[in-house]
A and B are shown apart, each in its own frame.
Chain A
Amino acid sequence: MSIKPVKLIVIAGKKGRVTVKYPFQEPIITPEFRGEVEIDPAKCIGCGACVRACPPNALELLESEKEIILRYFVGRCIFCWRCVDVCPVSAIKGTKNFELATDKFTDLYTLVVHTRATCELCGTPAETVRMRRYITEKVPISEEYITTCPTCRKKQFAEKIAMRKVGISELKK
């Protein structure tokens, strides 16, 4: 019988205690740790880029006649921060928060409510008001047509072409 196994006591003594008294002490996390994400409602434009990138559908766009709501459900979140990468206006920020247990399930949801713009010709609900503003800011020329929906735009365009080809009097017939 060898006495080598007893050496483990020496190793244990050298290493000492490796656990911390969480939650009374700081948890051992690195500066790179990815936790819950935070959406800044003041910056969000409701474009839906994060929704397309989100692998587990934790971010969703809920649409109604008047509003577009960006809903973040932390219960589904896998903390990959793809939304942080893709947000065009840096409205989403990653945090180190991982203590997410709660006794109220509504705490798990974050909602960002956006007012919806409409097409000024046909009145169909379109993108959010902020999204329109953002597009006009980035592409000033879009100011000319942004207030109409793609269907109306197409119709307008076709009418203009037709007018040039056959003249307004022919069209009216």
Chain B
Amino acid sequence: MPNPEAIAKYVELAEKSSGVIYIEGDTIHIIVPTSKLVDVADIVFNKYNCSFRVCAGIDERPLNGHFSLVHLFTDDKAGYYVAIKTYLSGDNPVAPSIVSAVPAADWCEMEARDLVGIEFTGRETFRLVLPPWWPSNLHPLRKDVPYNYRPEPRIESEKISYSSEYGVIPLGPYHPTLHEPEYFELYVEGERIVDVKYRGFHVHRGIEKLAESRMNYQQINFLAERICGICGFVHSTCYALAVEKAAKLDVPERAQFIRSIVLEIERIHSHLLWLGVAFHLLGYDAGFMHVWRARERVMWLAELLTGSRKTYGINLIGGVRRDISEDKKQKALEVLRELNRDFKSLIEVALDVPQVKRRLTGTGVLPREYAIKLSVEGPTARASGVNKDARRDLPYAAYKYASFKVPVYSEGDNLARALVRIDETFESISIIEQLLDKLPGGPILLSDFEIPEGKVGVQVVEAPRGGDIHYVVTGKGAPYRWRVRAPTYANIPALRIMLRDQPLADAPITIASIDPCFSCTDRVIVIRDGRVERINLLR
């Protein structure tokens, strides 16, 4: 739905900053001179209240001899994507940092520095993604670096800890219950946490480079699905939608409905999984067992509809590969009705368990102002009073045909985050029922289409943990640039606020409360140069 008022605002901004503006579908592209980048980002983030999603550095030297940097925002109120692009010199790419205006851009700028070799002025940088032994002048996402290039490792000792003033408690290399690689250093005074350092990106898989150099458009759907083991379908949908947007494909309605239905099934299973793990963390193992028992039926349903319990593998550019027949529809409705009853009775009991209630209430508080400043995503944002949900604000797939509530709580504590997820589970059940009811007829896959070169597609898909964003620049047979950001990437920096002044014993549940997915976050690269510096997000 075009919104002339919102567009006029951006046109004026582009004119004032002597930039170029063009609008394609729901994406507003603004190309600004490098000197005006900070001012424009400041206005878009702080005055227009857009949420910052991610930035991407692109090596465009084979195309036009320049590097470029794109900051991606979404105007959630008006329902527009805002991509602010600036071109940098091809020999010595230097960009001004927008961190002073947009604190949420901290990580992605350092990632662009590591992977594409863009230097940032006006901020401190350190290695975030690349391993310590990686040569500092080698930037893997540059087009002249072959995807299978392996530099000789330099042996170098790495200093992890540096503080001597406080006691240091390492939490990692695996989370006690999430079984994912992560490393937190908690600085404690007695039993109180005074500061937190996160060191991640241990499992960087270089998938962006792999996709750009070795795979074709349709294969990447399956690679994207493997970014995350829990919300993989979100990534493959997000990638497919981004490419479809870039190529302006008209995907069959039925395919979009099936995508939405499967996305919601994924959300239900993910939230149930999280609740189970949270109960386990709080010492309520009976609840864990029963929530997972209920979840097992959802896994069975996912297999019935797609052919696989997880990594469904049904997304292709242009549609989906598996149809939902009348018989499957009835079975799905039956499972959902049963789940609704079962989950309601379980949650009633579980939330009344004293240790669950007491340990969730008032712990790990994230105040609203920080949630906005750091552009956190999903239930973490909604539990802190930030009313944003891409399904409603930037409708994609078939969500515009379903009516649903977006639960928002203002407390910002662990209980609020749990309640958001519980409410969302019921909403998801209702969304699937509505969509199954309205499922239109017709084909499920486009058979003949072409993907033109040099087009841009940006897509946000609301994963169970928050908004995923995929940025695709199309190329020949495969994307020229594919930038992925998982929601946990935006949420981890908020942990520093949540954990501060908390008792040590609440750290595991608070870390788990953002439903972190470390491996998705690590899909990109972040590293430190031998020395370790504190992640200073809120200067």
Please list the residues of chain A having a beta carbon within 8 angstroms of any beta carbon in chain B: 1-2, 4-5, 7-8, 11-12, 15, 18, 28-34, 52-56, 78-82, 85
B residues near A30, Cβ cutoff 8 Å: 300, 303-304
Q: Which B residues are CB-close (under 8 A) to A33?
A: 303, 307-308
With both chains docked as a complex, state the minimum distance between the C-beta of B520 and any C-beta of chain A, in angstroms.
18
Task: Identify the B interface with A (CB < 8 A).
Answer: 215-216, 218-223, 226, 286-287, 290, 293, 296, 300, 303-308, 311, 313, 321-322, 342, 345-346, 348-350, 352-354
* B322, closest chain A residue (CB): A32
Chain B residues within 8 Å of A52, by CB: 216
CB nearest to A18 among chain B residues:
B293
- Across the interface, A80 reaches (CB within 8 A) one of B222, B286, B296, B300, namely B222
* Docked-complex contact A7 and B313, CB < 8 angstroms: no
Known contacts A15-B293, A18-B293, A18-B296; A32 and B306 CB within 8 A of each other: yes
CB neighbours (8 Å) of A53 from chain B are: 218-219
Enumerate chain B residues within 8 angstroms of A34, measured Cβ to Cβ.
Answer: 307-308, 313
**CB distance A5 to B313 under 8 Å?**
no
B215 to chain A, nearest CB (A): 7
Q: Which residues of chain A have C-beta atoms less than 8 A from B349's C-beta?
A: 4-5, 7-8, 11
Neighbour of A56 across the interface among B221, B222, B287, B296, CB < 8 A? B222
The 6 closest A-B pairs by CB, nearest first: A55-B222, A80-B313, A4-B352, A55-B219, A34-B307, A30-B304
Is there contact, CB below 8 Å, between B223 and A55?
Answer: yes
User: For chain A, what secondary structure do more than half of its interface residues adopt (helix, strand, loop), or is it mixed?
Assistant: loop
Name the distance in Å between B323's Cβ and chain A's nearest Cβ: 11
Chain A residues near B305: list those with CB within 8 A: 32
CB distance from B79 to the nearest CB of A (A): 33
B218: A residues at CB distance < 8 A: 53, 82
Q: List 17 A-B contacts (CB under 8 A).
A: A2-B354, A4-B348, A4-B352, A8-B290, A8-B346, A15-B342, A18-B293, A30-B303, A32-B303, A32-B322, A33-B308, A55-B215, A55-B223, A79-B308, A79-B313, A81-B307, A85-B321
B55 to chain A, nearest CB (A): 28
Residues of B within 8 A of A1 (CB): 354
Report whether A78 and B222 are in contact in the complex, using a CB–CB cutoff of 8 Å. Answer: yes
Which of B219, B221, B342, B350 counts the most chain A CB atoms within 10 A?
B219
- Provide the residues of chain A in CB contact with B306, threshold 8 Å: 32
Query: Which chain A residues border B290 with CB–CB below 8 Å?
Result: 8, 11-12
A32 contacts B222, C-beta separation under 8 Å: no
Do residues B307 and A11 form an inter-chain contact, with CB atoms below 8 A? no
In the complex with contacts A30-B303, A32-B306, A33-B308, A78-B353 CB distance below 8 A: no
Interface core residue of A1, A30, A31 (most chain B CB under 10 Å)? A30
Is A32 a contact partner of B313 (Cβ separation < 8 A)? no
Q: Which residues of A contact B348 (CB under 8 A)?
A: 4, 7
Q: How far, in angstroms, from A78 to B307 measured CA to CA in the complex?
A: 12
Q: How many angstroms from the CA of A70 to the CA of B19 in the assembled complex?
A: 54
A14 CB to nearest B CB, Å? 9
Cα A12 to Cα B220 in complex, Å, equals 43
The chain B residue with its CB closest to the CB of A34 is B307
B524 CB → nearest A CB, Å: 20
- Closest Cβ of chain A: how far from B148's Cβ, in Å? 13
Complex Cα distance, B345 from A12, in Å, reads: 11
